[in-house]
Structures are given as C-alpha cells and as structure tokens.
C-alpha cells in the first residue's frame, strides 16, 4: 500500500521570523526589523516548532540559543526563502512578458566576447530568463537550431525559409594565414598562386550537420585536413601543419607578434561576411529575446 501524500505544513512567514530572530540576536530586535510586536514573533517561532515537532531554541542562562536541530532548520530555511524570492521574481518577469527560457545557437567563427558581453548585460539587468548557449560551425548551426527547436541563431549563412526572420549584424573579416615557419610564409615573390597553395595542406573547419552548406572559400587542393572548430584550427596553423582562413579577431595578437603571417594570395588575402541573427517568424520573441537582439546588433562583429 502506497504511503499517503505528505502535506506541507510550513508557513514561509514562520521561516522568515526564525531567520530574523537569529540574524538580529533577540526576539525584541527581530520584532523591530519585521515591524511587529514581540509577542507575534514569539508566536511564529512557537508555531514553527509545533508544526515541525522540534525544539528550535533552548535557554542558556538568560539567552535563547539554537539547538542542533534549530541550526540545520535555519540553514535549510534560508535556502527555502531564497528559492521563494526567486519564484516571486520569476513570476513578475513572466507577467511582464519575459520568457522562462531562451535557447541560442551561434557560429563559433563569430566574436564570442561580444556575445558574452550581451549576455552579461542581460544578467546585470536582472533578467531571470534561463539562457542556453550552444556553439556550432557553418551548416551545423542551422542543423542544431532546427534539431533542438532553438529560439535564435547567429550564423554566417543559412538556408532561407519563410519560417525565419533574419537581421544583419556587424561585418566579420577573415584572413588567409600560415605559421611564420611554414614554407608559404617564407616564399619571396610578391603573390602566391592557386597552384602554389595546392602544394600544401589546407586546414578547414567541417561542421557537424548531416548535409552542411559547402564552404565557398575552400581552395580545392588534394590535401585538406578538417577540424571541428576554429580553436583547434588555430593551434594547427600555429604548429605549421597547414594554411587556412581564420577570423581576424581570433588571430590578431598572433599576427601582431609575428607568430602568424598573412599570405599574399593573388586573389586576395582577406574576405568579409555579414553574420545574420535569425529567429522564427511563427514564434515572436519575448522581452528577453528582443533585448538580446538589441544588444547583439550593437555588439557582434565590433570586437
């Protein structure tokens, strides 16, 4: 036979009174803090003891001190009050149009610092929406966005649909680079031709999608090493494994220090793209999403 359901017999007001008595050091000062008469404070503590069937305070001389059980109940009570206040804040946010949660998928080629600054601004503004951030690359961004039914994606390019609304962000620039020790970096003539590039290993990031978008910036040589992200690609380039395109914001320090060299490819050593912020046309963004859009439009690509 199943046990009968447990009936909650706690009043948060009693817990709050217990905390006030301990924090203030006496029933009299707790009454002043709570703006109540002392008899009401004493009553609340006695009611809490009765409902818990525990003794929370004991006399030591002229003072009332917590029992061992009282100390544990106090600790748990503080946690309970903090949770209750968070629930109240969440309810206020949701009543005013803030989403309970927001899932964002971004392309790892974008400046993460700008995105993190936007998320920090949300946190600093006290917004209680639970944010989930996932990082993918190239076609893997849309693959994850659709597969996870996410709310928003920041993407280099995507397969457009009437289901999606897109907004442009600040431009991002990529540079063709190699380690200063690489043979391509040590060549002496003014420009590099495509056949010269084909003699060496090209490094490229390959997305995790089942049918990713083709990379229009691949040079088409016979030797291509695919990596899962730009951070491992950067390490491979620095080690001299090969050459490849890198977002400028990820390698600026290495270029300035001379550890990486921009390659003078005859068709150009840089290209830029405008990343897009995409969300669903049939799912209007709430106040958190709208605020995040504002922050991202002001920051992404600006790093």
* CATH at residue 75: 1.10.10.10
Query: What pLDDT, on the 0 to 100 scale, is given for residue 212?
Result: 57
Instruction: Check whether residue 263 and residue 178 sit in a common domain.
Output: yes
Q: What is the pLDDT of residue 302?
A: 47
Instruction: Answer yes or no: do 265 and 133 share one domain.
Output: no
Report if residue 3 sits inside a domain.
no
For residue 203, the model assigns a pLDDT of 96
Residue 300 CA to residue 154 CA, distance in Å, equals: 9
Please tell me the pTM assigned to this model. 0.65
Q: Write out the H or E segment, with its range, that includes residue 202.
A: strand 202-205
CA distance 283 to 229: 30
Long-range CB pairs of 52-57, under 8 A, 24+ apart, other chains included: 52/10, 56/18
Q: Are 98 and 288 spatial neighbours (Cβ–Cβ below 8 Å)?
A: yes
**CATH code (residue 265):** 3.40.190.290
Other C-beta atoms within 10 Å of 224: how many?
A: 16
Residues 151 and 265 in one domain: no
What's the mean pLDDT in 164-183?
Answer: 94
| Partners of residue 166 on adjacent β-strands | 278
Same domain, 141 and 286: yes
Please check whether residues 292 and 148 belong to one and the same domain.
Answer: yes
What's the rounded Cα separation, in Å, for the pair 157 and 107? 10
| Distance from the Cα of residue 90 to its chain's centroid | 19
CA triplet 284, 286, 288: central angle to 5 degrees?
140
- Read off the tokens for 258: 């001379």
Give yes or no for a contact between 283 and 146, defined as CB atoms under 8 angstroms apart: no
Please check whether residue 233 lies inside any domain of the structure. Answer: yes
Q: Are residues 243 and 186 in the same domain?
A: yes
Q: Are residues 285 and 265 in the same domain?
A: no
**Of the residues 74, 95, 116, which one is the last residue of a structural domain?**
95
Same domain for 129 and 63, yes or no, is no
Residue 115 within any structural domain of the chain = yes
Among all chains, which residue has been given the structure tokens 């280099």? 156
**Residue 14 pLDDT greater than 70, yes or no:** yes
Can you give the pLDDT at residue 99?
85
Our count of domains for the chain comes to: 3
Determine the average pLDDT of the residues in 251-274.
Answer: 96
Domain span including residue 182: 173-272
177 and 163, same domain (yes or no):
no
pLDDT for 211 equals 54
SS3 1: coil
Top pLDDT among 211 and 20 is at: 20
Rounded average pLDDT over 78-83: 91
Q: Are residues 26 and 147 in the same domain?
A: no
6 within some domain? no
């Amino acid at each position: 036979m199943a046990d009968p359901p447990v009936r909650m017999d706690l009043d948060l007001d009693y817990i709050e009174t217990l905390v006030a008595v301990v924090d203030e050091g006496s029933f009299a000062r707790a009454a002043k803090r709570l703006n109540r008469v002392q008899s009401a404070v004493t009553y609340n503590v006695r009611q809490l003891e009765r409902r818990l069937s525990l003794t929370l305070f004991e006399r030591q001389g002229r003072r009332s001190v917590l029992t061992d059980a009282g100390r544990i109940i106090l600790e748990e009570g503080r946690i309970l009050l903090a949770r209750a206040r968070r629930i109240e804040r969440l309810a206020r946010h949701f009543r005013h149009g803030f989403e309970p949660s927001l899932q964002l998928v971004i392309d790892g080629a974008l400046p993460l610092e700008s995105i993190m600054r936007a998320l920090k601004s949300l946190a600093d503004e006290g917004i209680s929406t639970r944010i989930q951030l996932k990082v993918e690359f190239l076609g893997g961004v849309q693959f994850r966005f659709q597969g996870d039914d996410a709310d928003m994606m920041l993407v280099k390019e995507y397969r457009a649909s009437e289901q999606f609304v897109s907004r442009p962000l600040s431009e991002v620039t990529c540079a063709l680079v190699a380690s200063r020790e690489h043979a391509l970096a040590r060549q002496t003539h003014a420009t590099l031709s495509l056949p010269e590039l084909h003699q060496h290993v090209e490094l490229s990031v390959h997305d995790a999608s089942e049918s990713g978008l083709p990379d229009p910036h691949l040079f088409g040589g016979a030797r291509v090493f695919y990596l899962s992200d730009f951070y491992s690609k950067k390490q491979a380039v620095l080690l001299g494994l090969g050459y490849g395109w890198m977002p400028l914001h990820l390698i600026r320090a290495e270029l300035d220090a001379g550890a990486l060299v921009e390659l003078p490819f005859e068709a150009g050593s840089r290209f830029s793209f405008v990343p897009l912020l995409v969300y669903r046309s049939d799912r209007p963004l709430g106040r958190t999403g709208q605020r995040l859009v504002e922050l991202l439009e002001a920051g992404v690509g600006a790093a």
